[in-house]
Amino acid sequence: MGLFDRLRGEFVDIVEWVDDSQHTLVWRFPRYNNEIKNGAQLVVRPGQCAIFVDQGEIADVFEPGQYELTTDNLPLLSTLRGWKHGFQSPFKSEVYFVSTRQLTDLKWGTPNPVMLRDADFGPLRIRAFGTYSLRAIEPKLLLKELVGTNATFAADELGELMRSVIVEAFTDLIGRAKIAALDLASRYRELSEQLRLLVRERIDDEYGLDVPALFILNVSLPPEVEKALDTRTQMSVLGDMQRYQQFQLGQAIGAGGGVGSGLGEGVGLGAGLALGQQLAQGALAPPAGVSPAAAAPPPLPGLGAAAPMFHVSHNGQSQGPFALPQLQAAIAQGQLTAATLVWSPGMAGWQPAGQVPALAAYFAPPPPPPPPR
């Protein structure tokens, strides 16, 4: 081997891309003045392809493998340069490496709510998000339409474009599918595949990209609608709402204080007249084993056609007004005692409930049992 051959061999370049990133789509080989020497070795790894660009014109494309760069394997570049009898080192050309593997775990979502006409709830605003993957299937088209002269091009730079395409396709899909909002979750897999095909149709011919996978992970309703659905579910679970309201009121009365504290805080805070009447209707029923005659109090003396309404003193505050059935229920449960102060229109002032003629009969001891026969 002569001296010049040895010197020429020491200047052989290796053109390659060791991709240590996760989301890089295109990378340009950083050669000073774009000079590549005669006989340079080109290494294209699996999941890559290499594209030679000469003065803005896309020339030769190399699939995975190892190549020695000569005029034999650079036919398009040789034609562009007019190399009829080989070329002398060095020659200038840009080399772009394009990743052809899948770029995964890319995210999409609706930046603004999407309107949906639902059969159950009427017009609804929904949001959705998920993940997708990308792969370059036409490197030349990708380089021409999106990359340009960038030294690197990552999937993140496609994020805004892909989100716009996916959201537009998702809006069209949801509008045509006419699926009830409550049934969307059960059809995520079907909708994801349909959405993937719609997105692929819009980017494959235009940008040289494919979407191997696309997933809808969640479709959410506005918070107020979700709260209403939760309430509706609770009502369905509870069943008999009247009995549940009576139970809740009884619990609130019990939490308000023990015997001698007057009406419980729950009654005073708003169980309300209508709810109190429902409780009274349930409380008026005699206990098991007690005859209606024994459970019913004696007639109230002097009670006219219009039953009086009473206010009750609880923790130093006036609460009410309450009707007699409500007070009767509270007395029967031991929450209203004879010492509890009450007042009704026509009374001179507050008096203990046991001293008010209209209420005194409710505090009388029950009659003794009849003698045995």
- Out of 15-29, 82-96, 150-164, least confident range: 82-96
- From 54, 80, 99, the end of a domain falls on 99
Tell me if residue 258 falls in helix, strand or coil: coil
pLDDT at 292 over 60: no
Q: Label residue 188 by pLDDT band (50, 70, 90).
A: very high
- The whole-number average pLDDT for the span 45-52 is 90
Number of domains observed in the structure of the chain: 3
For residues 134-140, give the mean pLDDT: 91
Query: Which pLDDT score is estimated for 274?
Result: 45
Q: Do 217 and 114 fall into the same domain?
A: yes
Could you give the residue ranges of the DSSP H alpha helices within the chain? 3-10, 75-81, 139-142, 159-177, 188-207, 223-238, 241-255, 265-266, 273-283, 292-295, 324-332, 357-360
- Report which of residues 245 and 81 the model is more confident about: 245
200 pLDDT above the threshold of 60: yes
Q: Is residue 165 part of a domain?
A: yes
Pair (220, 330) in one structural domain: no
Q: Which residue has the higher pLDDT, 58 or 111?
A: 111
Co-location of 72 and 91 in the same domain: yes
Residue 279 has pLDDT above 50, yes or no: no
Which domain covers residue 134, as residue numbers?
103-227
Q: Assess whether 108 and 152 both reside in one domain.
A: yes
The predicted structure's pLDDT at residue 231: 79
Q: Both 78 and 111 in a single domain?
A: no
Comparing CA positions, the residue from 270, 253, 256, 248 lying closest to residue 332 is: 253
Q: Is the predicted pLDDT of residue 285 greater than 80, yes or no?
A: no
Residue 372 included in any domain: no
Tens digit of pLDDT for each residue in 213-262? 999 999 998 888 888 777 777 777 666 666 666 666 666 555 544 444 44
Task: Give the CA-trace dihedral at 274, 275, 281, 283, to 10 degrees.
Answer: -150
Rounded to whole angstroms, the Cα distance separating 326 from 332 reads 10
**What local confidence, expressed as pLDDT, does residue 333 receive?**
79
Residue 338 burial by CB count (10 A; 0-12/13-18/19+): exposed, middle or buried?
Answer: middle
292 preceded by cis ω (within 30°)? no
Among 29-38, 128-137, 151-160, 192-201, the least confident range: 29-38
User: 169 with 200, same domain?
Assistant: yes
- Name the one residue in this structure whose structure tokens are 């995520």: 188
- Mean pLDDT, to the nearest integer, of 144-161? 86
pLDDT over 70, % of the chain: 71
Q: What is the mean pLDDT of residues 190-209?
A: 92
- 219 and 255, same structural domain? no
Same domain, 147 and 117: yes
Identify the domain boundary among 177, 205, 227: 227
Q: What is the average per-residue pLDDT within 342-350?
A: 87
Give me the mean pLDDT over the 134-141 stretch: 90
Asked if 95 and 107 sit in the same domain, the reply is no
Across residues 21-44, what is the average pLDDT? 80
Query: Are 244 and 359 in the same domain?
Result: yes
Least confident stretch, 71-75, 111-115, 219-223, 256-260 = 256-260
* 204 located within any domain: yes
- 6 pLDDT exceeds 50? no
Using a CB cutoff of 8 Å and minimum separation of 24, what contacts does 148-153 make? 150/26, 150/28, 151/27, 151/28, 151/30, 152/24, 152/26, 152/27, 152/28, 153/24, 153/25, 153/26, 153/27
Task: Look at residue 298 and tell me if it is in a domain.
Answer: no
CATH at residue 124: 3.30.479.30
Residue 140 lies in a domain: yes
Q: Is 124 a member of any domain?
A: yes
**Among 66, 99, 132, where does a domain finish?**
99
Are both 214 and 257 inside the same structural domain? no
Question: What pLDDT, on the 0 to 100 scale, is given for residue 323?
Answer: 85
Note the pLDDT of residue 131. 95
Q: In terms of domains, do 280 and 264 share one?
A: yes
Establish if 234 belongs to a structural domain. no
Q: Find which of 73-77, 141-145, 240-244, 283-287 is predicted with most confidence, using mean pLDDT.
A: 141-145
Highest mean pLDDT among 76-80, 98-102, 115-119: 98-102
Tell whether 17 is covered by a domain: yes
